[in-house]
Amino acid sequence: MTALEGVKVICLGQFYFAPYCSMLMARLGADVIKIESPAGDPYRRLPTLDENGEPLQFRFLNSGKRVMRLDLKAPEGQDVLRKLVRTADVLVQNLSPGAMDRFGLGYEQLSKINPQLVMASGTGFGSFGPYAGEPAMDLTIQARTAIMSTTGFEDGPPVRTGPSVVDFMAGTHLIAGVLAALFQRTRTGRGQHVEVSLQDAILPSLTSNIAGLLSPGAVSRERTGNRHGGMSVAPYNAYPAADGWMTILCPTDTHWQRLCALMDDPATADPRFASMTGRCDHMDTVDALVSGWTRGRTKAELATALKASKIPFAPVVTLPELLDDPHVRARGVLHEATDERGPFTTLGSPLFLSDSPMVEPSRAGRLGEHTDEVLRDELGLTVDEIAKLHETGIV
């Protein structure tokens, strides 16, 4: 059986945060119903489309879910959601701050309908603190949480990270909270409200940077480029190769000694480089030594030597190279499938459980594709009752 077999999940989220959390639950076997506004998730309208004109970002985050169209601004739509909540295990939402309470669908109200409900709320800044209730997106959180000020090079401007690390890290934290709440429910019989904020979820990733700032006598350098965030490991950088770039790091003195043996350069015997502290104090010189060795060798040659010496390394790959990487294909997190409409690519799952198979994701549904099915199977509505909801624009 799958890990979350029989678990019913309602997702009211859009963009990446809550949809990624509920996508992971779908891959673990939960029955996820994604509820969209009459206009649909904004990511249905992005210009990145596949050859069939289908939105790729939406597919990646919502394949394997049933999709339902529902107007939560209307009292009749709110009543439909309340009925769905009666038999749901989890409700995941990252609507605009205060929206659920304005609709009369906050945790206090919904827990009275279903005391076993686990409600998971994704927010920008949480429900308390000076910024509570302020709207936020991945970019704005990166700006306010020092992610941008610590990304890039010292003489350059602040830079956002390439991937949307805030949204996806927050989504991962959110599912962790949901699974903990479901486990506690098996002992108490009660659900609870789980809250994860974008800012809280990304802040721990700054551990090295903050440590470098708080260390007595340390000189704070916010943007360290490809060097260690706390400037406390050397060598630690992306070094030029004859055909690209290679990342190399030596987290211990032993790794440095192995690298010295490979480089076979008398300059590495300088006693200033014997300890990590010394190497960090002379980081520019250390990087110059390593660059001098890597520059005349190909990535393949460097990889062979570094792997044999058990030194941490990785070539810097491009996105096209990543998509063709045999290990990425073997793991299946970037999942390729085929249905009656042809081949498609979506996300698999990074969660591998030895006794719980991943659910094969189906193609993301069209807007409202499963609305009638949900109303009929979950709420027992008749054909006439469903037709009336369509006529009034509630679904």
Backbone φ and ψ for 320, nearest 5 degrees, come out as -60, -40
**Same domain assignment for residues 169 and 287:** no
pTM: 0.92
pLDDT, tens digit (0-9, with 9 covering 90-100), for 174-195: 999 999 999 999 999 999 999 9
Length of the chain in terms of residues written: 395
Q: How far apart are the C-alpha atoms of 140 and 120, rounded to whole Å?
A: 22
**Same domain assignment for residues 114 and 177:** yes
Residue 3: Cβ within 10 Å count: 18
The residue segments making up the domain with residue 359 are 8-203+333-391
**Same domain assignment for residues 26 and 111:** yes
**Same domain assignment for residues 145 and 39:** yes
Active site residues: 167
**Same domain assignment for residues 189 and 249:** no
| Residue 1 included in any domain | no
pLDDT, tens digit (0-9, with 9 covering 90-100), for 127-172: 999 999 898 999 999 999 999 999 999 889 999 999 999 999 999 9
Residue 86: Cβ within 10 Å count: 12
- Tell me the mean pLDDT in the region 369-386: 96
**Same domain assignment for residues 357 and 293:** no
**Same domain assignment for residues 256 and 337:** no
The pLDDT confidence band at residue 219, using thresholds 50, 70 and 90, is low
pLDDT given for residue 221 in this prediction: 75
Residues with Cβ within 8 Å of 394's Cβ and at least 6 positions away in sequence, in order, are 70, 71, 74, 76, 77, 80
Q: Is 327 left (phi over 0), alpha (psi -120 to 50) or beta?
A: alpha
Handedness of CA 255, 257, 261, 265 (dihedral sign): positive
The answer, yes or no, to whether residue 46 has pLDDT greater than 70, is yes
| Residue 145 included in any domain | yes
Q: How far apart are the C-alpha atoms of 232 and 248, rounded to whole Å?
A: 15
**Same domain assignment for residues 270 and 298:** yes
Q: Output the domain CATH number for residue 308.
A: 3.30.1540.10
Q: How far apart are the C-alpha atoms of 295 and 289, rounded to whole Å?
A: 10
* Domain end (from 316, 341, 358): 316
pLDDT, tens digit (0-9, with 9 covering 90-100), for 79-103: 999 999 999 999 999 998 889 999 9
The pLDDT confidence band at residue 230, using thresholds 50, 70 and 90, is confident
Q: How far apart are the C-alpha atoms of 381 and 360, rounded to whole Å?
A: 29
pLDDT given for residue 144 in this prediction: 96
**Same domain assignment for residues 39 and 142:** yes
| Residue 2 included in any domain | no
The pLDDT confidence band at residue 227, using thresholds 50, 70 and 90, is very high
**Same domain assignment for residues 174 and 114:** yes
Mean residue pLDDT of the chain comes to 94
**Same domain assignment for residues 20 and 110:** yes
pLDDT given for residue 52 in this prediction: 81
Specify whether the CB–CB gap between 113 and 38 falls below 8 A: no
Widest Cα–Cα separation across the chain:
86
Domain count, the chain: 2
